Structure 1
Amino acid sequence: MKPEAEQSFIRILLVEDDEDDFVLTRDALRSISQGRMVLEWVDNGEQALEELRTGRHDVCLLDYRLDASTGLELLARMRQQGWLGPVILLTGMSDEALDEQALKAGAADFLDKSQLSPTLLARSIRYALQHARTLEELRRSRASFRELIERLPDGVGVTQGERLVYANPALISLIGVSSVDELLGGSRAELEGMFIHAEARALLPRDDQKNLAAKAPPMEIRMLRKNGTPVFVELAHAPSVFDGQPCIVWLVRDLTERKQMEARLVRADRMASLGTLAAGIAHEINNPLAFTVANLGHLESDVLPRLKLPGGEQDDVRKLVADAQLGATRVRDIVRQLKMFSRADEQARPEPVDVTRVLESAISMASNEIKHRARLVRDFTDQLVAEANEGRLGQVMVNLLVNAAQAIPEGSVERNEIRVLTRTHAEGLAIEVRDTGSGIPAENLERLFEPFFTTKPVGVGTGLGLPICQDIVTSFGGRMEVESEVGKGSTFRVILRAAAAVRPSEPPKEAVVVAATRRGRILVVDDEPMIGMAIRRTLQREHEVVALTSAREAQARLTSGEAFDLILCDLMMPEMSGMELHQAVANHSPGLAGRMVFLTGGAFTANARAFLNHVPNHRVEKPFSTQELRGLVQSLLAAAS
């Protein structure tokens, strides 16, 4: 059919082997055409097919009897060669059976020559053209709809009865078959057995039409790809018509990306909660640990020398104090690891990070998993500094170390090894975790960083650890590599950009130990009374020490004119923090504000970290040693004199 805009007249091809019938038809057309119809005449089927190949004709008037063949046979050949225009069959006899056959064969109309009139012929041609336009529009609509279905990102399948009769490319890709031929014609029972997880089959609507036709909300089920891997999908169905027959349309939406996002959000929320909890725990432990360490130091340096004990007992007491100090030191190291973990949820820009420091903390946190399975070997290149985030890089390394340990069975420590190696790399630096474990099959290597894929037993792994590690490393501008061989172990490699120097978030200021030039007056402000008491015991032989538990009381005494040479102040306190007290002192006495020393058990808020990075004041991390505290006090008093 030509576009309507191009149809200034109608071209009609008459296929008729009787000249008298040609004249009859021509005259009938002349009386109705009004110059808008052009008639062309051929007297045999082969010539008719040749003319129709040109595509110039809008309507074909076809004699039912042509030599030894029939018009129906010629009509079939026309359709085979691709001509879809309207055909009106003309016959010299009236036969309802032939009329029905003609319509079934695709003829637009069937006219009896003996009753042919200009009006009847005109009406038949108009009807045929309109019918052809309607069919063409329907064909185009179906083609457009089919193209839409083919391009949909969601899977679409159509079943008629018990058989699958259509599947779009998205469904083929989702299931993982190579072509649609593997699916079409398959029975519902066969397809469910192959591609629906056993636990989900009972959830599917059953075969009776009433159940299938019932309106039901989409359901989330687990399907299986051809290779056996599970995939979560949203499944919906609806009754419809396909190729003129009743059917059920199945819509299948891949939920993998949504599930990944949900899992990451849950994990991120969990990590944020754990980070906050870890920071709080670290801060709360640091307070009692601080006065414990300070009191042990005071006991060792000030009390024991003055005790009149027999030589042997003096040595025993000193050993007990040393053992207690060792235990406190181990607790302090654990707290520092918790503080690093508490910063793992920070989304800060990458900054220079000491790689060895991060690895040592990660090894300590993973040591319980490692010690029963393998020897740990450190192979570190000194002074490697990476562009990263300390807490998040630590999270990556803990995960890799635990994975390495879990790849090795327990009980063979001497025969197995986990080697942590650092070295320079063309792209910056590389950190490797090598194990002598079971190794990873080659077919699984490409899927290791795919969310929810895990080679661990059910209940041991979620399949999210490595994808999250990869996301973290990528966020630093780095990348991850893996090498593995079954039976020989695996190597996971983290490649990062190198940085010029470490910029600690809480840079400690080293104390220069000098002899005190004078006795100082020192104010200690800490909401934990035992810390104030411990500091007073440590310093009171050399200085006058005033210990307060309220920053507001300290502010009142300072603004009233009471003089102090030095202020030792806790950073995080209720009602009024050390930061707020610093601002108040700076407004009243800027010089004294510069001589404030901050005692911190973990600056676990963004404001506190920003404050410590901004002010030049000295700070002391809890727990602190008596020697460290005395040395700092002496150096500051000497500088102020």
Structure 2
Amino acid sequence: MHDTIKVLLIDDDEEDYLITRDIFSEFPAKKYSLQWVSSYAQGKEQISKQAHDVYLVDYRLGAESGLELIEKAVQNGITAPLILLTGQGDIEIDEKAMRIGAADYLVKGKFNPHQLERSIRYAIKDAQNIAEIKNLNAELENRVEERTRELAEAIQELAQSKSELLKALEKEKELNEMKSRFVTMASHEFRTPLSTILSSASLIDRYKTEEDDSKRQKHITRIKGSVQNLIEILDSFLSLSKLEEGKVPYAPAEFDLKDFSEKLLEEVSSITKEGQKLIYEHQGNEKAIFEDRQIMHTILINLVSNSIKYSPEGKNIYLRTYIDGEKNAFEVQDEGIGIPLTEQKHLFERFFRAKNAINIQGTGLGLNIVKRYVDMLGGNISFTSNINSGTTFTISLPKHSD
């Protein structure tokens, strides 16, 4: 982007233009140029030229609507962000603006130069991030198409290997579908916590007195929670990538299972909801097992975290471990929302989300990763679940010795 950020104001009121111009003159960085058009038709024409970095659009443009102008611009493929300006705060207008693709929503007379300048900067950065995701998606599409062409040519040259090549094509199709779902899911799952972090970080600036400490802490907690969500998403992607590539190291060693489990519950205690209790029980005289500590951590942290996430406040989550002569067993039980009976057969599928969990943040990868790790260890995982009563996962692993 060029050094000067070009902003176009589309507003039928010249007085509003003059006020906006004065606000721009107070921006801390003198890198903005403001231009103005006073009608819907002029705004539409200027947007079609895509000669500006950001557009400020008034809600009322004579007999026509700024919302309609924004919606049509987005439909026509405008990449620069559009910010809606209105004379009065209205939650319905705010929500509709976001739905049709507006980058932000500001009420005239309610923002200062710093807030407007920050809104413009954030809108431009958000548009750049979206463009980058689209570019990555296009690059992946091209790579998949190229690979598919190569495989098609190989089929013609090696007719005797038809069966093997058809399997490769099916795998390619699966990877293509996985790529599409990944891009869609990643765009959403990263955007939600990042938006929370950005909004909370900007709001913290407003709370500067001791009386505002509780408000600051509230937003700090939101930021920490969002960062934890991002870490969990990245961990899921990394685990899945290693499993897909067959690059998961296996390094078994003896460790104290009881101590390991207690520390694991202490680790996840920071994400429990109000009133939730983590309860650990161990059966058997033995405490030491011989297994890969990191893989066991990944398996159990996924199951316990899910129990916390899908259980309401005030409920108990149980982790039980058993050691006997032939096997090591683990049980994670919660009193949460449960899994619908008709959907239980899909539970370990990649990206699967039950209908009653769609509104709860998640990638749909955790249980698929758990199942694949359990299979890798030569074990078995099963579960029982009832709606609004909870779910219990049971894992049985063969005992190993050093």
Is the TM value for this pair above 0.5?
no
TM-score of Structure 1 vs Structure 2, range by shorter chain: 0.3 to 0.5
Which structure has the greater CA radius of gyration? Answer: 1
How does the TM-score come out when normalised to structure 2?
Answer: 0.39
How does the TM-score come out when normalised to structure 1?
Answer: 0.25
Higher-helix-fraction structure? 2
